[in-house]
């Protein structure tokens, strides 16, 4: 029962913190849909066996995209969840290109659970490129995003075969869609 309470609390917290945020896609889906997909991928990967990781999947963008602090996450949830979220959070004080470069550089050095979280996040993002391409993104930018996602994922390999396969399927579907074959 504790795990169910933890996960529903994480979902409610994430939904509250991301209120009003939308995905970049042309359908402008509520941002919480992305968080739910990341958590769902993680729950399948660990067959429900790591509630903290699944909760971190729901909360993974709170430090980066909301006013949430590490101390707040640690207090409301626990230090393990706060540390996982922190480990996958970009430093928004850096320019975007530098943040993207650092994701590639740091990927191989993340803890195994953070690697799983990053893979689930990148998988969801690539699925989003196919289902609802970002409004205003020309083809070249979408192609570059898929290539960059692959570069990040290359450093995350060896952590979970099923999650890696999900990423690969999403990347291949993005390639097909962007090539106009879908």
Active site amino acids: 64-65
Q: What CA–CA distance (Å, rounded) separates 172 from 164?
A: 12
Q: What does the buried/exposed string (b/e) look like for 160-178 if buried means 16 or more CB atoms within 10 Å of the residue's CB? A: beebbebbeebbebbbebb
Distance of CA 139 to the CA centre of its chain: 22
Which tokens go with 58?
């729901």
Which tokens go with 67?
């006013």
Count of all residues that appear for the chain in the document: 182
Q: Are 70 and 63 in contact (CB under 8 A)?
A: yes
Residue 30 bridge partners (DSSP): 22
């Amino acid at each position: 029962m504790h795990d169910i309470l933890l996960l529903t609390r994480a979902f409610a917290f994430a939904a509250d913190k991301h209120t009003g945020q939308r995905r970049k896609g042309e359908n402008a889906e509520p941002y919480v849909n992305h968080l739910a997909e990341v958590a769902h991928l993680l729950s399948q990967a660990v067959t429900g066996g790591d509630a903290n990781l699944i909760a971190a999947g729901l909360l993974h963008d709170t430090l980066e995209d909301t006013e949430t602090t590490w101390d707040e996450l640690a207090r409301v949830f626990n230090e393990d969840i706060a540390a996982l979220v922190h480990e996958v959070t970009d430093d928004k004080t850096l320019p975007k290109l530098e943040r993207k470069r650092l994701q590639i550089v740091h990927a191989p050095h993340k803890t195994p659970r953070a690697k799983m979280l990053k893979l689930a996040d990148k998988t969801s993002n690539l699925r989003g490129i196919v289902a609802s391409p970002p409004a205003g993104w020309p083809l070249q930018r979408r192609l570059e995003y898929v290539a960059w996602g692959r570069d990040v994922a290359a450093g995350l390999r060896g952590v979970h075969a099923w999650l890696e396969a999900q990423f690969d399927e999403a990347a291949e579907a993005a390639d097909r869609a962007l090539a106009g074959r879908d």
